[in-house]
Amino acid sequence: MGQRSYRIRTIYRTGTVAWLLHRLSGLLILAYLYFHLIVLSSVVWPGGPRAFDRVVASLTTPPFIVADLALFAIILYHALNGVRLLILDLGWGLNRQRPLFWSAVILGAVALFCAALMMAPLAVRR
Amino acid sequence: MDDTVQLDIQRFNPETGDEPYWQTFDVPVSPGDPVLAALMRVREEQDGSLAFRASCRSGICGSDGMVINGWPRLACKTQVADARDAHGMIRIQPLFNLACLKDLVVDQTPFWDKFRAVFPWLMPDTYEPEPEKERRMTMEPDDFQLLSKASDCIFCQICFAACPIVGLDQEFLGPQALIKAYRFEADPRDEGTPTRAPVLDDPEGVWRCRTIFNCTEACPKGIPITRGIQVLKRAMVQEELRR
Amino acid sequence: MRDRGRGAWPWLLQRVSALALLILVVTHLWIEHFMHLGQTITYHGVAARLMHAAYDAVDYALLIVVVYHALNGFRSVLFDRIAAPALQRLTTGLLWLVGIATVVLGGDILSAFLDGRAWFYL
């Protein structure tokens, strides 16, 4: 038998994109979780509470507030697509996975817009 | 012949061992021709070395699964008129997630190994005395509908090629083995759950499915594969809670 | 033959923890961020806020549930490429250790706010 050629491909359709984004957002949130804990652990660094205040002050500058909004978008997607997955796991909406995905995206976009309106003054004021 | 279609076919010759390459054929077609008819014309009139599987030509044998325009389909159930793009071209590749042996022919071994792994046969309880009442078909009509659809599988391997998880994790049982397991798990005559559960309730069993729905969307027989796998997941949770 | 029940519990608990996180994360974000939006965050401000028993209950619960959900999800990602049962067991064991260490660190941080003195300093 001759040499074989392996073909392993991912096909980008709604369900695949939803899964890849869920995975990507999950990994980013995992990375953030540890970043968050490292930042907060400044309270148990040698400087104690004063080190905490210093670290937090440097993280509430406009670039980080924009990053906060991006983080919020990532968490929103993971949460809302997670609700879609819970619904599918309960055996509901199995014929409507695409409308469910787009509902999650639209709902997330609306929530993100509201959060941006709330946070915009913070990024501008400083 | 009133029309011509351009087939862009991915070729692979194991004897030379060269990388797969693309070859274009201009094929005359008649209205109503499926892609398979065009492929057969290529083999008969232009290049006898073109390898592909086909048998019944009517979507029953499940031999001619291939990737047409990036999506796995049966060549005999795909109309040339539907598949051709604005330039009159159709791209054809061997099925994904299986090793290519030659041109459009893939090595089906992993698929059949996984199918065999789920004990795909009816296991009646041998110790149970003959039932006084007829036990067959004691299902809710909806459940029976799903079981009936699940037994329509023609082993075309299209779901296997469409699933991104199968491509990622070579050990994952894959949609076809799981829907076959469902077909027997859902059968009221079957007592095989203790035998099948260790295979299904395993990281490489039902839990690897991430409800991506490619299998369901690709299945040429319209089997709601994801729905069946979801039923199996809940059944496995219940098995675990009952223990 | 592989042991039974090697997948049902992690799958079920991932969904249960997801449901809990929906509530806990929203509460956490609301209490810690939106309720005091725009105010300067300081150690004393956070410590005063955590005087409410309900708030630190939320944070303790969130810490444990989020670490389980995150590492269980990460395990599921890893298992797409790790198929050998022995390696899978090793991965699970290592992730448990990482998870316990993370919860201890998180608890230490919370205690620094709650009691004014942490269990240990780094």
CA distance C84 to chain B (A): 9
Is 90 exceeded by the pLDDT of residue A11? no
Using alpha carbons only, how large is chain C's radius of gyration in Å?
A: 18
Give the model's pLDDT for residue B128: 63
B222 in reach of chain A (CB within 8 A): no
- Asked if residue C119 is part of any domain, the answer here is no
Instruction: State the alpha helices, DSSP H only, in chain C.
Output: 8-29, 43-49, 53-79, 85-114
Chain B residues in contact with chain C using a Cβ-Cβ cutoff of 8 Å: 165, 168-171, 197-198, 201-208, 233, 236-237, 239-240, 243
The answer to the question of residue C102 being in a domain is yes
pLDDT value for C116: 80
Smallest Cα–Cα separation from C77: which of B125, B203, B205? B203
Mutate to test the interface with C, among A32, A44, A59, A124 (most CBs of C within 10 A): A44
Report the gap between the CA of C16 and the closest CA in chain B (Å). Answer: 13
- Flag whether residue B230 sits within 8 Å of chain A, measured between CB atoms: yes
Touching subunits for chain A (3+ Cβ pairs under 8 A): B, C
Q: In terms of residue numbers, what domain contains C81?
A: 8-114
- pLDDT tens-digit profile of A60-108? 888 888 899 999 999 999 999 999 999 999 999 999 999 999 999 999 9
Beta strand pairing call for B3-11 and B21-29: antiparallel
Residue C2 included in any domain: no
Write down the pLDDT at residue C56.
86
Contact A26 C42 (CB under 8 A): no
Residue C71 belongs to a domain = yes
Give Cα separations from B2 to B28, B32, B33, B83, C25 (angstroms): 7, 12, 12, 17, 64
**C7 with B202: Cβ contact below 8 A:** yes
The closest of B53, B22, B12, B11 to B36, measured between CA atoms, is B53
Facing residue for C109 by CB, picked from A40, A57, A79? A40
Instruction: Give me the residues of C, 58-77, that contact B with CB < 8 A.
Output: 76
Q: Could you tell me which residues come within 8 angstroms of residue C17 by beta carbon, excluding any fewer than 6 positions away?
A: C65, C68, C69, C72
Could you read off the pLDDT of B153-183 as tens digits, one per residue? 999 999 999 999 998 898 999 999 999 999 9
Chains that touch B (3 or more CB pairs under 8 A): A, C
B211 contact residues in A (CB cutoff 8 A): 15, 19, 85, 88-89, 97
Of B12-16, C76-80, C91-95, C118-122, give the lowest mean pLDDT range: C118-122
Cα gap A91→B186, rounded to integer Å: 15
Distance CA A97, CA A83 (A): 12
Contacts of A29 in chain C (CB under 8 A): 70
- Is residue A94 within 8 Å of residue A51, measured between CB atoms? no
AA identity, residue C97: L
Per-residue model confidence (pLDDT) at position A78: 98
Burial of C48 (0-12, 13-18, 19+ CB in 10 A): exposed
pLDDT band at C34 (very low <50, low <70, confident <90, very high): confident
Please, are residues B156 and B127 in contact by the beta-carbon 8 Å criterion? no
Per-residue pLDDT tens for C51-85? 888 888 999 999 999 999 999 999 999 999 888 88
Higher pLDDT, C21 or A13: C21
Residue A4 reports pLDDT greater than 60: no
Instruction: Report the residue count for chain B.
Output: 243
pLDDT in tens, chain B (243 residues): 678 999 999 999 999 878 899 999 999 999 999 999 999 999 999 999 999 999 999 999 999 999 999 999 999 999 999 999 989 999 999 999 999 999 999 999 999 999 999 999 999 877 666 666 665 555 677 778 888 999 999 999 999 999 999 988 989 999 999 999 999 999 887 889 999 999 999 999 999 999 999 999 999 999 999 999 999 999 999 988 887
Q: Which tokens in the block code for residue C103?
A: 């919860």
Structure-block tokens of residue B24? 């274009």
| Cβ pair C7:B201 closer than 8 A | yes
* 3 state SS for chain B: CCEEEEEEEEECCCCCCCCCEEEEEEEEECCCCEHHHHHHHHHHHHCCCCCCCCCCCCCCCCCCEEEECCEEEEHHHCEHHHHCCCCCEEEEECCCCCCEEECCEECCHHHHHHHHHCCCCCCCCCCCCCCCCCCCCCCCHHHHHHHHHHCCCCCCCHHHHHCHHHHHCCCCCCHHHHHHHHHHHCCCCCCCHHHHHHHHCCCCCHHHCCCCCHHHHHCCCCCCHHHHHHHHHHHHHHHHHHC
Spell out which residues of chain B touch residue C4, defining contact as CB-CB under 8 Å: 197-198, 201
ipTM of the complex: 0.91
Pairing of strands B71-74, B65-68: antiparallel
Residue predicted with more confidence, A12 or B69:
B69
Interface size A-B, in CB pairs within 8 Å, comes to: 83
Quick one: what percent of chain C has pLDDT higher than 70?
Answer: 96
Per CB-CB distance under 8 Å, the chain B contacts of C11 are 207, 233, 237
Query: How close, in Å, is residue C77 to chain A by CA atoms?
Result: 8
Domains for chain B: give ranges and CATH numbers: 3-106 (3.10.20.30), 109-242 (1.10.1060.10)
The pLDDT mean for chain C works out to 89
For residues A76 and B220, what is the distance between their CA atoms, to the nearest angstrom? 36
Contact B237 C12 (CB under 8 A): yes
Domain-embedded: residue C87: yes
Report, in angstroms and rounded to the nearest whole number, the Rg of chain B calculated over CA atoms.
21
Tens of pLDDT, residues A24-68:
999 999 999 999 999 999 998 887 889 999 998 888 888 888 899
Residue ranges of domains in chain A: 24-59, 61-126
In this prediction, residue A124 carries a pLDDT of 72
Q: Cβ of C38 and A121 within 8 Å?
A: yes
Report the residue of chain C nearest A68, measured CA to CA: C33
* Dihedral Cα C60, C66, C67, C71, nearest 10 deg: 170
- For residue C34, how many other CB atoms are within 10 A of its CB? 12
In this complex, do B224 and A94 lie within 8 Å of one another by their Cβ atoms? Answer: yes
* Per-residue pLDDT, B153: 96
Name which of B173, B223, B230 is nearest B196 in CA terms: B173
**What's the whole-model pTM score?**
0.91
pLDDT band for position C36 (50/70/90)? confident
Chains that touch C (3 or more CB pairs under 8 A): A, B
Closest CB from B168, B198, B203 relative to C88: B203
Q: How high is the pLDDT of residue C5?
A: 53
Instruction: Please report, for the domain that includes residue C76, its CATH number.
Output: 1.20.1300.10
Count of structural domains within chain C: 1
